[in-house]
């Protein structure tokens, strides 16, 4: 009888250990470990506040809160189709406005930092600073691909 209860107790502990390992694998797989390209910086001291973050899955944001309460920032992400979507914005006493916005095809599996650097020369397509509108709810109609041009000569 004691041997039977000992086996049952041992089986319960083995099942518990297997569940714990499985749960750990699920949590590890879901959240992952941050890679070299992922970071978060934040300052909460002084009259101006600042934060910046970048994730391994293609998101970037930086924002500064000025002494008068104005917030100025940039957000960018790479969507599932391989487009970098970047917006510079301001939020002040006149509301939230997109200052400039651009959508550029950068491809798949590209780090956000590299994508932003490679598209610096691409002009913004919409926003208050681009076309003088209020910048709210404007749709981007043009996407500029990053391409490499090759010339072939035939004789």
CA distance 56 to 42: 18
State pLDDT tens for residues 14-55.
666 555 555 454 444 434 455 677 878 888 777 788 888 888
Q: Mean pLDDT per segment of 10 residues, for the chain of length 155 residues?
A: 67 60 46 66 81 87 92 93 94 93 90 88 85 47 48 51
The model scores a pTM over 0.75: no
| pLDDT computed for residue 20 by the predictor | 55
CA distance 134 to 151: 42
Specify the residue for token string 């600042």.
50
Q: Can you give the pLDDT at residue 45?
A: 75
Handedness of CA 134, 51, 58, 21 (dihedral sign): negative
Nearest residue to 139 via CA among 105, 98, 79: 98
Q: pLDDT value at position 14?
A: 64
Contact of 79 with 112, CB cutoff 8 Å? no
Residue 93: what pLDDT? 93
> What is the structure's pLDDT at 138?
42
Distance CA 125, CA 51 (A): 26
Q: Which of 148, 100, 105 is nearest to 123 (CA)?
A: 100
136, two tokens:
């709210």
Cβ contacts of 52 within 8 Å, gap of 6 or more: 39, 40, 41, 42, 61, 62, 63
């Amino acid at each position: 009888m004691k041997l039977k209860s000992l086996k049952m107790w041992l089986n319960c502990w083995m099942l518990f250990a297997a569940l714990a390992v499985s749960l750990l694998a699920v949590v590890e797989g879901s959240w992952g470990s941050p890679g070299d390209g992922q970071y978060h910086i934040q300052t909460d001291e002084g009259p101006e506040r600042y934060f910046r973050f970048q994730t391994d899955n293609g998101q970037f944001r930086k924002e500064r809160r000025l002494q008068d309460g104005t917030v100025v920032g940039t957000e960018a992400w790479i969507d599932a189709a391989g487009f970098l979507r970047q917006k510079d914005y301001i939020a002040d006493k006149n509301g939230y406005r997109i200052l400039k916005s651009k959508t550029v095809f950068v491809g798949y599996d590209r780090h956000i930092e590299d994508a932003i650097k490679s598209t610096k020369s691409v002009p913004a397509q919409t926003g208050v600073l681009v076309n003088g509108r209020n910048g709210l709810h404007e749709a981007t109609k043009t996407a500029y691909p990053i391409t490499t041009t090759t010339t072939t000569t035939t004789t």
